[in-house]
């Protein structure tokens, strides 16, 4: 079995998904989804350990030798991303059990969990596959299931925001297929390693820059880089709470991984950064995302929407790290990818608890919540500190690496923008703290603390965000090694 | 002549732009979806054109005995991989369209309209 673990990581959830759909009962479907999530966590941990021990795992699906068959190729970067996805899935699924029972009707819940498992399988598939067309297939599996989960939100605007996401997401995916097709027609292969070998031979042909451009637009749309982020705020705001927590910490992260995979492994750093000048595009957009979108977040009165805008700004940090094109920069990007998954997951889960008790996440409805729901708001503050980048939290580790990477390049201005972005995060987190702790609660409503089944998963992420902030050696080592493999600094 | 030889690709570009324009410019959600579908279909045509080899036949093993003397010369095949890939893309396109249309049905139930501007004024 352990030999087939790469395939089983994806196949087990894919097989469990129809079972959840057939079960017909919310509780049973939830049980199956939990089994799927915990299985993938086990598989992802053992794959990461094996990659650390014995290097890249190559697995030919169905015994077809690459490049003819589909190959799963797991190096440190893919194992790390797969672990993030699986861990967030395993933490959010107990939370979803309680939260979804309230937000999604009983007869739709089994289908909801089916979509949840499929999304998990799709995201894991993207992380470990070594075949570019397979990437597209998994991308569409995860996107289509994400659309159907968002559409189950209570507000009717969930439907229109899903529609917007569906249109933009499909255009992005189609751009990626066009890019893949143009690469295939020039090289005759879909295997990533093969592509990386053959692309340099044909890169003087105009088709390759065109393919590169299509892929850049498609992937940056999927990861919601400014100005292609328009689908994200509404989708995150109106989706069921558990879905927002799961999606915000996984789906855009996997797209960032795709960016790394395509630009460093397949096209190579030299082509992407020296010939195509990718940094000239990514860096300004990332800086605008950090400044402009943080400003939008400050003026937002719906807290979930505020956090969604903050996600766009945080994606700016990840892309900023990548845009340096150095080992230090890419390390910063990968570390922030992990850290942001922890803190934004915790923040959205805390908001889910608020939604569970008071049925709204508008700022003015949250007056005095610090007294009524002490644990929930404490979790919000804890994860909020991390978002700001206070020392001893993961946010600080990310910012530290980012600023170091910027200073190593002599980019003082960029380092300054990172600092200003942190201050802006302080302002919008403080707005919530002020309302929750320093305003008197509405005496007519009796509000009690959220159920333990929601609080515990939230606190797991909050504690993790402090744990990895105090002792960042594990994440930093893995991220540095992953960055070195991506940039080819290490064999 | 070159322009004519690339006829398929001109068709791809025209279809792609027609679809993309409809997708952006139309306010009716159903028309938007049709535009999206045309846009995706143009990619299918593009891949199929990639795989076609002039004078090539379908990639099926042909027994030498049936052809007698002719079989001595090698048989030219078209590349089947892009065609197979597009089977997957067609499935994805159908799934996207089905999901999109079912969303439109629910939007119609919730808002009473499928026009984008009317929905926007209703959501405020």
Task: Give residue B3's pLDDT band: very low, low, confident or very high (50, 70, 90).
Answer: low
Residues of A in contact with B32 (CB under 8 A): 167
Residues of B in contact with A184 (CB under 8 A): 50, 81-82
Distance from CA of B22 to the nearest CA of A (A): 12
The residue range of the domain holding B29 is: 7-42+79-124
Closest Cβ–Cβ partner in A136, A160, A162 for B119: A160
Q: CB B92 to CB A140 under 8 A?
A: yes
Q: CB B96 to CB A156 under 8 A?
A: no
| The total number of structural domains that make up chain B | 1
Closest Cβ–Cβ partner in A159, A173, A178 for B110: A159
Task: Give residue B29's pLDDT band: very low, low, confident or very high (50, 70, 90).
Answer: very high
- In-domain check, residue B70: no
Residue B113, domain CATH: 1.10.287.3510
- In-domain check, residue B121: yes
Q: CB A185 to CB B50 under 8 A?
A: yes
- In-domain check, residue B31: yes
For A186, name the nearest residue in chain B, comparing CA atoms only. Answer: B50
Tens of pLDDT along A100-149? Answer: 888 888 888 899 999 999 999 999 999 999 899 999 999 999 999 999 99
Q: CB B40 to CB A167 under 8 A?
A: no
Q: How far is it, in rounded angstroms, from Cα A142 to Cα A144?
A: 6
- In-domain check, residue B100: yes
Tens of pLDDT along A275-305? Answer: 888 888 889 999 999 999 999 999 998 999 9
Query: Predicted ipTM?
Result: 0.90
Q: Measured between CB atoms, does B47 come within 8 Å of chain A?
A: yes
Task: Name the nearest CA neighbour of A71 among A79, A59, A83.
Answer: A59
A163-167 contacts, C-beta under 8 A, 24 or more apart = A163/B29, A163/B100, A163/B103, A163/B104, A163/B107, A164/A230, A164/A231, A164/A234, A164/A235, A165/A231, A165/A234, A165/A235, A166/B96, A166/B99, A166/B100, A166/B103, A167/B23, A167/B32, A167/B33, A167/B36, A167/B100
Tens of pLDDT along A317-358? Answer: 999 999 988 888 899 999 999 999 999 999 999 999 988 888
Q: Measured between CB atoms, does B97 come within 8 Å of chain A?
A: no
For B79, name the nearest residue in chain A, comparing CA atoms only. Answer: A188
Residues of A in contact with B123 (CB under 8 A): 156-157, 160
Tens of pLDDT along A410-449? Answer: 888 989 998 999 999 999 999 999 888 888 877 777 788 8
Distance from CA of B10 to the nearest CA of A (A): 15
């Amino acid at each position: 079995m352990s030999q087939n673990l790469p395939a089983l990581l994806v196949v087990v959830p894919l097989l469990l998904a129809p079972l959840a759909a057939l079960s017909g009962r919310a509780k049973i479907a939830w049980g199956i989804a939990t089994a799927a999530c915990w299985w993938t966590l086990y598989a992802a941990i053992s794959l990461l350990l094996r990659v650390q021990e014995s290097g890249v795992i190559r697995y030919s699906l169905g015994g077809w030798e690459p490049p003819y068959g589909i190959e799963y190729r797991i190096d440190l970067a893919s194992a790390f991303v797969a672990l993030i996805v699986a861990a967030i899935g395993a933490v959010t699924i107990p939370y979803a059990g309680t939260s979804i029972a309230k937000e999604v009707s009983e007869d739709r819940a089994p289908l909801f969990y089916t979509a949840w498992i499929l999304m998990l399988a799709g995201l894991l598939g993207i992380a470990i596959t070594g075949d570019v067309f397979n990437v597209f297939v998994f991308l569409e599996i995860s996107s289509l299931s994400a659309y159907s989960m968002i559409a189950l939100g209570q507000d009717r605007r969930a439907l229109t925001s899903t529609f917007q996401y569906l249109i933009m997401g499909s255009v992005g995916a189609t751009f990626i297929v066009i890019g893949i097709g143009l690469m295939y027609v020039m090289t005759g292969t879909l295997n990533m390693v093969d592509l990386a070998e053959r692309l340099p031979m044909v890169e003087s042909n105009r088709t390759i820059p065109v393919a590169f451009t299509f892929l850049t637009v498609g992937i940056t749309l999927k990861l919601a880089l400014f100005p292609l982020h328009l689908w994200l705020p509404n989708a995150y705001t109106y989706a069921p709470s558990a879905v927002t927590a799961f999606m915000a910490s996984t789906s855009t992260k996997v797209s960032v991984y795709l960016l790394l995979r395509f630009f460093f492994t397949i096209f190579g750093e030299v082509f992407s950064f020296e010939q195509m000048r990718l940094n000239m595009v990514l860096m300004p957009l990332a800086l605008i995302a950090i400044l402009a979108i943080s400003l939008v977040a400050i003026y937002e009165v719906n807290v979930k929407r505020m956090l969604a805008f903050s996600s766009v700004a945080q994606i700016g940090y990840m892309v900023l790290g990548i845009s340096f094109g150095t080992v230090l920069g890419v390390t910063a990007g990968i570390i922030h990818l992990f850290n942001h998954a922890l803190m934004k997951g915790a923040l959205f889960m805390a908001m889910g608890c608020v939604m569970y008790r008071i049925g709204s996440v508008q700022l003015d409805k949250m007056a005095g919540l610090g007294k009524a729901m002490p644990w929930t708001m404490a979790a919000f503050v804890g994860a909020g500190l991390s978002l700001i980048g206070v020392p001893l939290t993961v946010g600080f580790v990310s910012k530290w690496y980012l600023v170091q990477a910027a200073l190593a390049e002599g980019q003082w201005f960029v380092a300054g923008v990172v600092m200003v972005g942190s201050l802006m995060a302080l302002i919008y987190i403080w707005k919530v703290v002020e309302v929750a702790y320093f305003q008197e609660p509405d005496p007519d409503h009796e509000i009690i603390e959220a159920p333990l089944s929601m609080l515990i998963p939230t606190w797991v992420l909050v504690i993790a965000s402090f744990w990895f902030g105090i002792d960042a050696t594990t994440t930093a080592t893995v991220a540095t090694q992953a960055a070195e493999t991506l940039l080819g600094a290490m064999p | 002549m070159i322009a004519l030889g690339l006829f398929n690709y001109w068709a791809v570009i025209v279809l792609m732009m027609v679809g993309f324009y409809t997708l952006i410019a139309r306010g009716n959600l159903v028309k938007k979806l049709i535009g999206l579908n045309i846009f995706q279909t143009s990619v299918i045509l593009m891949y199929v054109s990639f795989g076609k080899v002039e004078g090539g036949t379908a990639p099926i093993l042909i027994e030498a005995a049936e052809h007698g003397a002719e079989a001595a010369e090698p048989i030219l095949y078209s590349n089947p991989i892009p065609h197979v890939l597009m089977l997957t893309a067609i499935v994805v396109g159908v799934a996207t369209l089905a999901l999109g249309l079912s969303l439109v049905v629910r939007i119609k139930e919730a808002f009473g309209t499928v026009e984008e501007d009317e929905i926007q004024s209703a959501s405020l």
